[in-house]
A and B are shown apart, each in its own frame.
Chain A
């Protein structure tokens, strides 16, 4: 199944001022597109052509670095666009998620601190995650194109901490970007959808 670039689920300027149209244009139209195109080239003759994206990510991990990097980033970015929405973020979470965050992560404030910290401490390029692992919510981080799928988890929420995701708007201030993501961009309804599909 060939990879395809999905359209952004909102206008390019919909996430301002927290994420600018300029950032989204480069990030979606250039970076994500490059992962799709490179991934399609590397998928040819890989032996994984007929598989789903999730299967390609899992099966190329540790075996075909080029394909894995691009397939992993394709997967990550497909969800990343949906993990954000205008007027998102904040403390009013769907009840089911709030209950899990309370029981597994010590409450919303602790979740916020730890999620931001995971992103800040992912040295270099990568992602920070809210992951469902063995029935529990955990906060994790991965380098480059990796994601929780290859570590036996289900990614419920992820934030891109490659510099391309925030450099135009925040320069070196990665913590400010992460705080804005949590406070003003997270689409908790999509997190809930993924959680309900996983349990």
Chain B
């Protein structure tokens, strides 16, 4: 974080300075309108992923970007009582049946909420390798951890513009790598997400700037494989939601 700040060359002004104050001082959270969804706090300190993901990036990403998706999702649902009763994975799987006036808002912000909720959950770890049944599935379906990482990173660098790269998991426990633009998610295809990485520039720009490939590589160092294994078990039990 210090590096990031000292390379600012005193260019900080107005808006950016405001953001900094908010992020280094007390944690300020966007006020969400009343609605069915809420922003959970990060499940670890913002610095937990240092040095691979800097604390400031984590704070802005969670407290600003994710908060905005939640707030906009609730705002869209405020105009529609029926949709507001559905769990998020059902809203996303049935976007085509949602009211046209809020469909794009649900796609972008519902996708954004689901993706980021999963993202925080599977980070904060120490990297390494999966174990047990999950390791066997990675070997069987994705050619092993090295190949998973290479193929996943390649898929992430190939997303042109903003998006995500995911590993999906079926009820039978079968894994596959899938990339999506913007805040789209495999949940929109009725699938389930085992894990995923955010390749919007906001996820890495303060530390990696144009070097998305370096970010993708470093990110594996903070994956929490125990959490990923929990998601794997939930997928097979049919209880994995977002």
Which residues from chain A sit less than 8 Å from chain B, CB to CB? 16-17, 20-22, 26, 30-31, 34, 65, 69, 123-126, 143-145, 162-164, 167-173, 176-177, 180
Q: Which residue of A lies closest to B205 (CB)?
A: A167
CB interface residues, B 129-162, toward A, < 8 Å: 160-162
The 3 closest A-B pairs by CB, nearest first: A176-B15, A125-B161, A163-B201
Which of B4-12, B74-82, B187-195, B217-225 sits within the interface? B4-12
A34 to B5, CA, bound (A): 26
Contact indicator A164/B205 (Cβ below 8 Å): yes
Give Cα A31–Cα B64 distance, bound, in whole angstroms.
Answer: 25
Q: Is the CB of B201 within 8 A of A21?
A: no
Determine whether B209 belongs to the interface, using a CB cutoff of 8 Å to chain A: yes
Q: Which residues of A contact B65 (CB under 8 A)?
A: 172
**Bound Cα distance from A172 to B200, whole angstroms:** 12
Question: Chain A residues with Cβ under 8 A from B14's Cβ?
Answer: 17, 176
- CB contact list, B81-123 vs A, under 8 A: 104, 108
Check B170 for interface membership: any CB of A closer than 8 A: no
Knowing A124-B161, A171-B16, A172-B60 are in contact, say whether A16-B201 is a contact too (CB < 8 A): no
Contact of B202 among A30, A65, A163, A176 (CB under 8 A): A163
**Contacts A124-B181, A126-B161, A172-B60 given; does A163 touch B205 at CB 8 Å:** yes
Chain B's nearest CB lies how many Å from the CB of A20? Answer: 4
- The docked-state distance in angstroms from the alpha carbon of A154 to that of B50 is 46
- The answer to whether A168 and B162 have CB atoms under 8 Å apart is no
> Could you say which residues of chain A place their CB within 8 Å of the CB of B210?
26, 30-31, 34, 164
In the docked arrangement, what's the CA distance between A34 and B161, Å? 13
Contact A170 B15 (CB under 8 A): yes
**Would you give the shortest CB distance from A164 to chain B, in whole angstroms?**
5
The reply to whether A144 and B11 contact each other, CB–CB distance below 8 Å, is no
Interchain Cβ contacts under 8 Å between A and B, 23 examples: A17-B14, A20-B8, A21-B9, A22-B8, A22-B9, A26-B209, A26-B210, A31-B210, A123-B104, A124-B161, A144-B160, A162-B201, A163-B202, A164-B205, A164-B209, A167-B202, A168-B206, A169-B16, A170-B15, A171-B64, A173-B15, A173-B19, A180-B15
Closest to B201 in A: A163
Q: Residues 54-85 of chain B: 1 if any A CB is under 8 Å from the residue's CB, otherwise 0?
A: 00000010001100100000000000000000
